[in-house]
Structure 1
Amino acid sequence: MSGSNLHMAWARLFLRSLASSGVRDVVLSPGSRSTPLALAAAESQELRCHVIVDERSAGFFALGQARASGRPSLLVCTSGTAGAHYFPAIIEASQSFLPLIAVTADRPWELQGSAAPQTIDQIKLFGGHVRSFSDLGQPDPSPAALRAVVRVAAQAVLRAMSPEPGPVHVNARFRKPLEPVVPSGPEPWEAAWSALVEKGAPAAQIPWITPDPSAIAQLVERCSRAERGLLVCGPHLPSIGASGPAGKSFDLKQYQRSVAALARAARLPVLAEATSQLRFGLGPAITSIAAFDALLRNPAFRSRLAPDLLIEIGAPPTSQGYADLIADHPDCPRFVLAPHGWNDPSSSASALVFGDAAEICETVAARLPAPSRPDRSPWFSALTRADARAWDLVDRELAGDRLSEGFVARAVSSGCPEGSILAIGNSSPVRDLDMYCPASPRPLRVLHQRGA
């Protein structure tokens, strides 16, 4: 077949530009209209291709890659309702601040509104759930259009990473033929195209946002005089984009060391959910109150606890007991440390301190004066005794070999080798992990879906 091979060059340039901007994985759900993109991905020496026919499954597969790697994976599907199956993963990525790029192949504009098959309006298909939308347009040989392909790819990666990590949507239209063709001779756009492929995308340097010094000073002042403070750790939020380096793998040990430094310096017991990455691996020198959800469901216990400082790290804890504690003590100073989002569903926080949580913890810990009070106050000791008694009751419930949800949760978590990654389902499974698995000095990374 003779004719122009511009459609394939267009797709190759787009994929090459994404790769040079940091994308490493492409998750393909094959279909006719996405043929140029699928072939370009398969030919690339810079990209790893994963073929998953079902778009909904593909979306969550790519989401898992982003959660583990800190990089945006690329989703590619055909036209029509195929892209709509990405919607649950798109929403999860948006709510969890995870980078993701969805590319929906589309039919040309002349088929819109004409009852053509597999043709819907894909413009801004995901509405406000994506950080940005771009229409790549149809293949165009002009030098300006070819340069724009590179720019759109670089912008997609940048907006997936910063200022708030999340999903991005790019719509790409193609006319037939969709398969490669053999042109009758050199094409006039080839020299400009080759130069752009060789050059790659421009480097977009993402800024690193540091916490406000006045907020650090306020935290130091509050921690230095708190006598009944709690360090409460909800689901971990990745520090990528605006408050961390793009594509850098999460350093679990460094994160745990930083939080542990604050807990030691301020003598704060740690109330950590399993998905915070701080229940498993903090070390024996840190006092963890892992049964806090069960304890805080008791109104009398909440009343006696009467904290004078609450410091939250990450996303809002899922614990109902902790939500009840906040409601019972609305005047208690509460500081939320997180890289992204307004993480205050009760609308009662004293301050939200934005930045890398590990950096904030390290900075505050370094500035705290040496403690003048005893290592263990009566309040502190009573809290640790209550936690020990709660776990004694849980141990009795799980004694023997009777199969139950709690038995499975503890068996799985305790059976994971040190440094493992445990992927846990949302709803009941993650709650079982919190309810039945005590804190442990053995490192274990827990990945989960937020569930929106």
Structure 2
Amino acid sequence: MNSANRNTVWASIVAEELYRSGVRTVCISPGSRSTPLVIAFAEMRDRFPDLQLLVHIDERSSSFFALGLAKVQRAPVALLCTSGTAAANYYPAIIEAYYSRIPLVVLTADRPPEMRDCGSGQTIDQINIYGKYVRYFFEVGTPEILGLRLRYLRSLVSRSVSMALGKGDDPAGAVHLNFPFPDPMPPIPVPEDIPDDLELSSPEAVFGNPSGGAYSQVITGMRSLGMDAIATIANQIISHPKGVLVVGVYDSPPEFLESVRHLARATGYPLLIEATGASRHNEIGHYDSFLRSANFCNTHVPQMVIRFGAMPTSKSYLVWLQKHINCQQIVVGSTNSDPTHGITQSLNVHPVNFCEQLAYYLENYAQPMWQDKQWRLDFELAESITEDVINKSLVTIDELFDGKVYAELAELLPAHTYIYVASSTPIRDLDTFFHSDRPITVLANRGANGIDGTLSSALGAAWGCDRPMVLICGDLAFYHDLNGLLAAKKYPISLTVILLNNDGGGIFDLLPISQFENTFEEFFGTSHALDFAPIVSAYDCEHILIRDWRDFRNSVTNSLNSQGTQVLEIKSDRKRNKELHFAIWDRVIESCDRQFMPPH
């Protein structure tokens, strides 16, 4: 412990308690007011080399880097910045962490109370600056070297990490601790600042938990339903054999895929899986395309939907549910996740427990022969028809079409690769065109669905894992977070970036607004005509302009086997992309409409 003055003692305890509570990475942005905590973390790293300190000049990039890292490692990551608007730059990532349930521990330095609201420089009101988007906020107070205050500090820090991890009453997310520090900021000795007998008078405050663990610990179990509740849900399923299991946007826990497949067999329901939810091999993954068929939707009316994770990205799935709004929905693991405002039961329960409990009950207590096998066979047939139409369509496309990128990647990427996919068009095209028979994990910032920080999130995830990482993003998402590339230059991060550059907001070309040509391009298309090559090179990353599909396959393979960050840029035409998208969907609709004609 650095005992130069009260600031250094205070900060030393914070750093130590964060480490004892499981924090192994701190993303730091430079500034003066946070000096005591920076020094404390640096000294902590000298004692514990597994503590990683990463410096990011841009706070927004830093926060999204931390978010991607926390997402992939499923562990808390700390953020540290100075006072003033530096803290405000964390806000978008904190919002994403709130909705995606990502554990972040946000440490903001501040002026002491007497220096606030009086014209003092680099000072804003930081109290509750993030509003409801943090799971917990506390104004820590100025350092006082008293046994009770130091014990309170240890307890506060360790409890905050537990809350960030979702071990309290709320799900995981960001917590915010605001630290006002008076002068001096550096570890300058201040006579009589530290009592001589502190170790003897308050050993718990100085040394923490004798076991070496967190000072205040929260221990949680996995929530499960009682047998009566399981029986009630099972009887609903038996009474409604035409149902579906749906996995939406979801950072699913271990063993989830095996357990939800077990439940699918027990219910007889088709299992619809979004690309960001779980592996879709041998399940229903093309539902966004075949649910565009009016005949299929009209002849297949769901009686029951059991969904895990957030609402799927698919608009056609949403429209299908809205069309049949009297369908009973059960949402597992979320208490506020139904934009259709249908008849919904929300279950605050561990998904693996729920699947296994319900499957066991149906297999052992339900009467045989209640399943509607034709219902599931129809979904499997629609899946097969759609897959065949899409594959045959893509074979005939030789030009650089965004949709074909994902089909090519499905063939190229080795097992256990991570894909980080941007919002807007990329995540939708991934859902439509990426179908791999190998286990591939898809990550995305789909809490708030923004394009902010996409590049930094992928870099953070790539830095924090030992598997190949591929980022797929559009040109606007890439441009929006160019500062994030500094991390690739500063730290040894291996990342393959597939930059889909159609010079503007391609998603809007697929929406009805594109019909209004007099205003569309200026306000929605937003062409920028940027040359990304010199920008990428400025950050010591490799830029490769893709010329054709052979070039693409070779470049992806080489990048996955290389160190560092490579940006593979594919230039395409937005209007041509639109034509090809709708041509494929029209073929799917025609084929499914013909197969699923309503009875006369």
Instruction: State whether structure 2 residue 29 is matched by structure 1 residue 32.
Output: no
Using the TM superposition, give the Cα deviation of residue 272 of structure 1 relative to its aligned residue in structure 2, in angstroms: 0.6
User: Following superposition of structure 1 onto structure 2, how do residues 110-149 of structure 1 map, counting pairs within 5 Å?
Assistant: 110-149=114-153
Using the TM superposition, give the Cα deviation of residue 393 of structure 1 relative to its aligned residue in structure 2, in angstroms: 1.7
> Is the 1:16–1:197 Cα contact (8 Å) retained in structure 2?
no
Query: Partner of 1:243 in structure 2?
Result: none
Out of 285, 293, 309, which is 2:288 matched to? 293
User: Following superposition of structure 1 onto structure 2, how do residues 285-364 of structure 1 map, counting pairs within 5 Å?
Assistant: 288-338=283-333, 340-364=334-358
Deviations 1:296-338 (A, max 9, x none): 1233321111122211111112211111121111222221112
Out of 150, 175, 182, which is 1:175 matched to? 182
Using the TM superposition, give the Cα deviation of residue 372 of structure 1 relative to its aligned residue in structure 2, in angstroms: 3.6
> Is the 1:96–1:450 Cα contact (8 Å) retained in structure 2?
yes
> Is the 1:421–1:446 Cα contact (8 Å) retained in structure 2?
yes
Using the TM superposition, give the Cα deviation of residue 70 of structure 1 relative to its aligned residue in structure 2, in angstroms: 2.2
Out of 401, 408, 429, which is 1:404 matched to? 401
Give, in whole Å, the separation in 1 of the partners of 2:343 and 2:19: 41
Distance of aligned partners of 1:411 and 1:43 in 2 relative to their CA distance in 1, 3 Å threshold: farther
Query: Partner of 2:439 in structure 1?
Result: 443
Give, in whole Å, the separation in 1 of the partners of 2:411 and 2:156: 46
> Is the 2:77–2:103 Cα contact (8 Å) retained in structure 1?
yes
User: Following superposition of structure 1 onto structure 2, how do residues 145-156 of structure 1 map, counting pairs within 5 Å?
Assistant: 145-156=149-160
> Is the 2:268–2:376 Cα contact (8 Å) retained in structure 1?
no
Query: Partner of 2:416 in structure 1?
Result: 419
> Is the 2:394–2:404 Cα contact (8 Å) retained in structure 1?
yes
Using the TM superposition, give the Cα deviation of residue 231 of structure 1 relative to its aligned residue in structure 2, in angstroms: 0.9
Q: SS at 2:246's partner residue?
A: strand
Using the TM superposition, give the Cα deviation of residue 131 of structure 1 relative to its aligned residue in structure 2, in angstroms: 1.2
Distance of aligned partners of 1:203 and 1:56 in 2 relative to their CA distance in 1, 3 Å threshold: same
Query: Partner of 1:230 in structure 2?
Result: 244
2:428 aligned partner, one-letter code: R
Q: SS at 1:169's partner residue?
A: strand
Give, in whole Å, the separation in 2 of the partners of 1:180 and 1:362: 56
Deviations 1:342-391 (A, max 9, x none): 12222213311221111111111111137744988333333222221111
Deviations 1:258-317 (A, max 9, x none): 11101112122111101112425xxx4xxx221111221233321111122211111112
Using the TM superposition, give the Cα deviation of residue 441 of structure 1 relative to its aligned residue in structure 2, in angstroms: 4.1
Distance of aligned partners of 1:113 and 1:185 in 2 relative to their CA distance in 1, 3 Å threshold: closer
Query: Partner of 1:430 in structure 2?
Result: 427
Q: SS at 2:363's partner residue?
A: coil
Q: Which moved more, 1:183-192 or 1:363-372?
A: 183-192
Using the TM superposition, give the Cα deviation of residue 92 of structure 1 relative to its aligned residue in structure 2, in angstroms: 0.4
Q: SS at 2:108's partner residue?
A: strand
Q: SS at 2:184's partner residue?
A: coil
Give, in whole Å, the separation in 2 of the partners of 1:428 and 1:39: 43
Out of 375, 382, 390, which is 1:379 matched to? 375
Give, in whole Å, the separation in 2 of the partners of 1:64 and 1:278: 20
Gaps of 5+ in 1: 239-249
Out of 60, 66, 69, which is 1:65 matched to? 69
Q: Which moved more, 1:355-364 or 1:205-214?
A: 205-214
Out of 90, 96, 101, which is 2:100 matched to? 96
Q: Which moved more, 1:324-333 or 1:183-192?
A: 183-192
Using the TM superposition, give the Cα deviation of residue 165 of structure 1 relative to its aligned residue in structure 2, in angstroms: 1.2
Give, in whole Å, the separation in 1 of the partners of 2:155 and 2:208: 12
Distance of aligned partners of 1:120 and 1:445 in 2 relative to their CA distance in 1, 3 Å threshold: same
Q: Equivalent pairs: percent with the same residue?
A: 34
Q: Which moved more, 1:157-166 or 1:27-36?
A: 157-166
Give, in whole Å, the separation in 2 of the partners of 1:202 and 1:151: 5
Deviations 1:20-66 (A, max 9, x none): 12222111112111111111112212632111111101111111122
- The number of equivalent residue pairs is 429
Distance of aligned partners of 1:197 and 1:86 in 2 relative to their CA distance in 1, 3 Å threshold: same
Give, in whole Å, the separation in 1 of the partners of 2:69 and 2:11: 23
> Is the 1:212–1:353 Cα contact (8 Å) retained in structure 2?
no
Give, in whole Å, the separation in 1 of the partners of 2:402 and 2:71: 26
The TM-score, its normalising length taken from structure 2, stands at: 0.68
1:358 aligned partner, one-letter code: V
Using the TM superposition, give the Cα deviation of residue 212 of structure 1 relative to its aligned residue in structure 2, in angstroms: 4.4
1:449 aligned partner, one-letter code: N
> Is the 1:97–1:237 Cα contact (8 Å) retained in structure 2?
no
Give, in whole Å, the separation in 2 of the partners of 1:207 and 1:265: 26
The TM-score, its normalising length taken from structure 1, stands at: 0.89
Question: Please, what is the CA RMSD of the aligned residues?
Answer: 2.3
> Is the 1:310–1:332 Cα contact (8 Å) retained in structure 2?
yes
> Is the 2:98–2:447 Cα contact (8 Å) retained in structure 1?
no
Give, in whole Å, the separation in 2 of the partners of 1:427 and 1:173: 40
Distance of aligned partners of 1:441 and 1:59 in 2 relative to their CA distance in 1, 3 Å threshold: same
Gaps of 5+ in 2: 210-214, 449-600
> Is the 1:17–1:197 Cα contact (8 Å) retained in structure 2?
no
Using the TM superposition, give the Cα deviation of residue 428 of structure 1 relative to its aligned residue in structure 2, in angstroms: 1.2
Query: Partner of 1:19 in structure 2?
Result: 19
1:21 aligned partner, one-letter code: S
Q: Which moved more, 1:367-376 or 1:72-81?
A: 367-376
Using the TM superposition, give the Cα deviation of residue 411 of structure 1 relative to its aligned residue in structure 2, in angstroms: 2.3
> Is the 1:90–1:167 Cα contact (8 Å) retained in structure 2?
yes
Q: SS at 2:40's partner residue?
A: helix
Q: Which moved more, 1:205-214 or 1:34-43?
A: 205-214
Q: Which moved more, 1:205-214 or 1:383-392?
A: 205-214
Query: Partner of 1:246 in structure 2?
Result: none
> Is the 2:150–2:206 Cα contact (8 Å) retained in structure 1?
no
Query: Partner of 2:220 in structure 1?
Result: 206
Instruction: State whether structure 2 residue 155 is matched by structure 1 residue 159.
Output: no
Distance of aligned partners of 1:147 and 1:61 in 2 relative to their CA distance in 1, 3 Å threshold: same
